Structure 1
Amino acid sequence: MNKQWQVHGALFLVALIYGSNYSIAKEVMPAYMGPFGLIVIRVVSAAIFFGFFSRLVTREKIVGWNDNLRAILCGVTGVAINQLCFFAGLNLTAPINAALLMVIVPVVVLVFSAILLRERISKRKVGGIALAFTGAFLLIYTSGSEHTTGNLWGDLLIILNATSFGLYLVLVKPLMQKYNAFTVVSRIFTVGAVIVVPFGWQQVLETDYSTYPAAVWWAIVFMVLAVTIIAYLFNTWALRYANPSLVGAYIYLQPVLAILIAVIAGKDVFTLQKGLFAMLIFAGVYLVSRTRQAVTEG
């Protein structure tokens, strides 16, 4: 198998893992464990894994006050706020709503790049931002109806999660250019673990694990090993060889897979209304990202 097919295989697997996570996480929440308990298990496990990996393989340290402060901010935005809002939002809203709203991340990245990195925003990109915002607003607004499968507060938390993660992608860029990726990820997961433990440790301790069926245990293993560790490793490897536009194409595949999996698994229903709002979001993101290097969740 040549390198091109290997890269495609790795990126498709990452998209499939992230797309599956929306429905698989709903197997555990809230019937068996609260969202913050799941976050503690996921983030602490990742911090331990990447910590050992970083020390054994890279043996590199982040030095200097500015870089260490930036790494802390990345841990707050990219792990703590990002994960707390995502799982809390997913616990409330429908998997399809969460998947569709997450594709606004490239738009958020563009906005923060303009604010923090002084990058110029063209009229075309402004139009894209307006389209994506309109689609997201309509999806959130209609979630307040009792006839929909979404949830207003859940959708707002997913938006906050996407905003936090978009800010993280802008903040982490200088660190990724200066240090090994595993050095940076090890530090931000360590910072994130310190923050999320107080939120979810009680849920971890109070859970009656003896009542868990095998499907729930497998769901937790999937979220720790696949979503947190394997997806990041495959994504990191693929980014060494993939064209940025190719990586961007696979970002937009994630919500498509999430919708298919949610519908097949019976976790949600796809309506014509959601399809129309999704078209607005995708059209806006396309306009924003067409000439810009795409980014993916680590």
Structure 2
Amino acid sequence: MNPRVLALTATSIATLIYGITFTVAKEVMPLYIKPFGFIVLRVGGAASVFWLLGLFLKKEQIEKSDYKKIFIAAFFGIALNMLTFFKGLSYTTPISGAVMMVTTPIMVLIFSSILLKERLFLRKIIGVVIGLIGAVVLILYGNNQEDNAENMMLGNFLVFINAASYAMYLVLVREVIQKYNPIVFVKWLYLFGFLLVLPFGISELLEVKWQVMPVSIYLKAGFVVLFATCVTYLFNLFALSKLKPTTVSVFIYLQPVIASIYALIVGSDNLNAVKIGATLLIFLGVFLVTKQTPATTNK
């Protein structure tokens, strides 16, 4: 199969898992595990899985200069990203938080042009903007509930920091990931990430009453660690080794589509012309960004 098609398939599967994860994780926290404690469990569990897998791989030496780059990537892609998202979501409404999250592809476009000196193609810019419009319409129209927010301004700011930090991670990691086996890279990424989040969530993790947790909650927590963390990060890293950060990031627009489809399946939402139109805008935006022309490659 064409490597580009494989990469697009990988990031599509990762996006599908992310879309399901919001519902699964919500059933685990905060009732059984508090948010920051869940982050420590998630990152620590993933780090353990990746280091275990690393034992079966041919030993590969990381260049000393790259440890600093991996640490910075862990700061933006794991620690700052996860901590600000969970804390921000606790202050703002889910709708506002979701709208702020879909600014990520815009941030990636800006960071890529500044740090990677990537040329800004008009087709990509139009695709990102069209996808953004569709995602915002779908998110705003898809939920008519007025949720009480403790501090919406602070919450929205923290979620925006989360979106910007993930965008920075996608851009920074592009160069380093192409030099190493994804497992070798990601085991160090998660080890550094675990050390960074540990001080913030260790106390919440120690409060967990494991003996009273139902088996279903153990399974859902395991899903978040194995699939929503290990599989998604590996798939996205593989996609980043074949595609531009902008192309990978635009798949974030599909998350509200997946959430809507899931809501339709379980009967908690209904379909109408506005939602169909917004979904078509998102798919058009993704198509424009991911479309490869004969004159350009690896875009």
TM-score bracket, shorter-length normalisation? 0.7 to 0.9
Does residue 212 (structure 1) correspond to residue 213 (structure 2)? The answer is yes
Code of the residue aligned with 1:148 in structure 2: it is E
Instruction: Tell me what 2:104 maps to.
Output: 105
Contact 1:15 1:250 survives alignment (8 Å): yes
**Whole-angstrom CA distance in 2 between matches of 1:22 and 1:38:** 13
Amino acid at match of 1:40: V
Q: CA deviation at 1:72?
A: 1.0
* CA distance in structure 2 between the aligned counterparts of 1:264 and 1:112, rounded to whole angstroms: 37
Change (3 A) 1:10 1:71: closer
TM-score (structure 2 length as normaliser)? 0.73
Distance 1:232 1:119, change over 3 A: closer
What is the CA-CA distance between 1:42 and the residue it aligns to? 0.7
What residue number does 1:25 align with?
Answer: 25
Query: What is the CA deviation profile of residues 52-78 of structure 1, one whole-angstrom value per residue up to 9, with x for unaligned ones?
Result: 32243041122133x221111001011
- Which piece of structure 1 moves more, 169-178 or 85-94? 85-94
State the shift of 1:229 in Å. Answer: 2.0
Structure 2 distance, partners of 1:29, 1:79, is 19
**Kindly tell me: are residues 10 and 108 of structure 1, through their superposed partners in 2, closer, same or farther at Cα, counting changes over 3 Å?**
closer
Q: Does the CA contact (< 8 Å) of 2:47 and 2:187 recur in 1?
A: yes
The alignment status of 1:148 with 2:149, answered yes or no, reads no
Corresponding residue of 2:175:
174
CA contact (8 A) 2:174 2:245 kept: no
CA distance in 2, matches of 1:58, 1:125: 39
| Cα distance in 2 between the residues matched to 1:141 and 1:258 | 13
2:204 partner amino acid: Q
2:70 & 2:41 partners in 1: Cα distance? 22
Q: How far, CA to CA, are the matches of 1:256 and 1:141 in structure 2?
A: 12
Aligned to 1:193: 194
Q: Which runs of 5+ in 2 are unaligned?
A: none
1:3/1:55 Cα in 2 relative to 1: closer, same or farther (>3 Å)? same
How many residues are matched?
A: 289
Query: CA deviation digits over 1:214-246, x for unaligned, max 9?
Result: 332221011011112233455567788999999
Moved more, 51-60 or 278-287: 278-287
AA aligned opposite 1:110 = L
TM-score (norm 1): 0.74
Query: CA 1:137/1:250 → structure 2, altered by over 3 Å: closer, same or farther?
Result: closer
Alignment partner, residue 52 of structure 2: 52
CA 1:194/1:238 → structure 2, altered by over 3 Å: closer, same or farther?
closer
CA distance in structure 1 between the partners assigned to 2:271 and 2:158 by the alignment: 21
Asked if structure 2 preserves the Cα contact closer than 8 Å seen for 1:107 and 1:288, the reply is no
What do the CA deviations read for 1:84-126 (whole angstroms, capped 9, x no partner)? 12333455643x6656654443322111011112223355655
Amino acid at match of 1:68: Y
1:81 aligned residue = 80
In 2, Cα distance between equivalents of 1:268 and 1:31 = 25
In structure 2, the CA distance between the partners of 1:64 and 1:209, relative to structure 1 (3 Å rule), is closer
SS at structure 2 position matched to 1:57: coil
Give 1:105's aligned amino acid.
T
| Matched letter for residue 205 of structure 1 | L
**1:128 touches 1:285 (CA, 8 Å); kept in 2?**
yes
State the Cα distance separating 1:148 from its structure 2 match: 2.7
Name the CA distance, whole Å, in 2 between partners of 1:202 and 1:238: 35
Whole-Å separation in 1 of the counterparts to 2:177 and 2:284: 30
1:15 and 2:24 matched? no
Return the alpha-carbon distance in structure 1 between the equivalents of residues 138 and 147 of structure 2.
11
SS of alignment partner, residue 60 of structure 1: coil
1:124-143 CA distance string (max 9 Å, x none) = 6556666677778889999x
> The residue matched to 2:32 in structure 1 has which SS?
coil
Give the Å deviation of 1:270: 8.8
1:114 alignment partner, SS class: helix
Aligned to 1:255: 256
CA contact (8 A) 1:22 1:98 kept: no
Deviation (angstroms), 1:38: 0.7
CA contact (8 A) 2:98 2:139 kept: no
Q: What do you get for the CA RMSD once the two structures are aligned? A: 4.4
Say if 1:98 and 1:293 are closer, same or farther in 2 by CA, change over 3 A.
farther
Question: Residue 55 and residue 267 in structure 1: after superposition, are their counterparts in 2 closer, same or farther (change >3 A)?
Answer: farther
